[in-house]
Amino acid sequence: MEDWLKVAVCYWHSFNWPGTDIFGGGTLNRPWLGATVTQAMADAKLDAAFDFFARLGVRYFCFHDVDAMATAATLKEHDQNLRKIEAGIAAKMAATGVKLLWGTANLFSHPRYAGGAATSPDPEVYAWAAAQVRCCLEATHRLGGENYVLWGGREGYDSLLNTDLKRELDHYGRFLSMVVEHKHRIGFKGTILIEPKPFEPTKHQYDHDVAAVFAFLQRYDLTKEVKVNIEVNHATLAGLDFEHEIAAARAFGIFGSIDINRGDPRNGWDTDQFPNNAQELVPSMLQLVEDQGFVTGGFNFDAKLRRQSVDPVDLYLAHIGGIDTLARALLAAVDVAADGGLARLKRERYQGWDDELGLRIAGGALTLAALADLATERGFDPVPRSGRQELAESMIARHSKY
Ligand code: XLS
Ligand code: NI
Ligand code: NI
């Protein structure tokens, strides 16, 4: 179960977020945070984070460059500060055995990125982003990270009136190609992942959902190089089921990893909550079972506490509850798979496609006219058949007993 779930704690929401929201200040006791983070503050944060990872007993963590390091004013300083904290991270990893699921550069918080990073109208901003990604990709590589993530937080627009969509997409495609080229240049063996999200903070993000990302990757010839990191609530925000996003990614051959934080179906924003409904996750978990687990991915808790969860124990309770939810969903999914009923139902539903007619059509042996003639000659008169949806749903419910 540990190997299959590959649970990761995220550095940012857990240690780099004081509990602010747009109407109020921090509520959580995070003494190492401030407008300017000194090296001593970054080190205190590192101590607290790895103490938490080790006590919780998880095997992985994820981080953004700026979550972990001391504040930097210039690119030179950025490189130096990131290297300093990288040394600290490496020592903690060696001491605790905790591994890096993925690293990522924060290309959205600093005011310079208000108009985007890889889609900025200003090439100097674009160059800053390139420098940050270079530093962070190299640090991730040296730390033995298993993936590198790009979430296009501000790769999108607020208004098309001032946005050259085609130009921005071309720049973004070029950016990603440079990242891939650099990955190979330094010998990074992990997977490059894009994290789709439809909006927030921008009105429209180019990496809207898995299908949009795949179209983008095709356009810039990157389908063999880049996969996706799917977040539950980003699917919800896109008006899609989480399991749909996984199924689409698997169909396109770009499934990579998961951010398992959920949203609230009544809220239209990213509430980043810990998962607590195992049954809801079973259809997604079943797909992971069919794949026999992740290749390089894992389950990252990109989740934050509620602002009133002010006790240190709340961070433990949140993660333990979330991990138990994943465990329950996995046990249920394994039972559903072992039962075999759902697989049989699907096989029987598509039976015709495994027979002579289906094989000839799908194999490309017939033209439209030939198929039309054949249907007419044979006098096809197909009878409607049940899709058995209620039975399929009850198979999930029946096995969700953990
Ligand atoms: C924001 C994203 C972000 C990425 C990492 O909505 O989920 O946290 O996972 O940059
Ligand atoms: Ni998110
Ligand atoms: Ni995320």
Q: Domains, the chain, ranges and CATH?
A: 2-339 (3.20.20.150), 341-399 (no CATH)
> Is 64 tagged catalytic?
yes
The answer on pLDDT for 313 being more than 90 is: yes
Q: Which of 65, 1, 27 is nearest to 329 (CA)?
A: 1
In whole angstroms, give the CA distance from residue 394 to residue 281.
15
The encoded tokens of residue 219 equal: 């356009």
Query: Is there an atom of ligand 1 within 6 Å of 225 CB?
Result: no
Q: In angstroms, what is the span from residue 376 Cα to ligand 1's centroid?
A: 54
Longest Cα separation, the chain: 82
The answer on pLDDT for 400 being more than 90 is: no
The answer on pLDDT for 329 being more than 90 is: yes
The answer on pLDDT for 283 being more than 90 is: yes
Question: Percent of the chain having pLDDT more than 70?
Answer: 100
In whole angstroms, give the CA distance from residue 323 to residue 275.
8
Angle between helices 389-398 and 278-290 (to 10 degrees): 100
| pTM for the structure as a whole | 0.97
The residue-averaged pLDDT of 245-261 equals 98
- Dihedrals φ, ψ of 173, to 5°? -60, -45
SS3 (DSSP) at 165 = helix
Query: Is there an atom of ligand 1 within 6 Å of 207 CB?
Result: no
Query: Is there an atom of ligand 1 within 6 Å of 197 CB?
Result: yes
Which pLDDT score, from 0 to 100, does residue 402 have?
Answer: 86
Over the stretch 72-97, which tens digit does the pLDDT of each residue have? 999 999 999 999 999 999 999 999 99
Query: Is there an atom of ligand 1 within 6 Å of 261 CB?
Result: no
* Interstrand relation of 99-104 and 147-150 (parallel, antiparallel or unpaired): parallel
The answer on pLDDT for 401 being more than 90 is: no
Give the Cβ contact number of residue 278 at 10 Å.
Answer: 21
> Is 67 tagged catalytic?
yes
Closest ligand relative to 272 C-alpha? 2
Which pLDDT score, from 0 to 100, does residue 265 have?
Answer: 85
Give the Cβ contact number of residue 393 at 10 Å.
Answer: 11
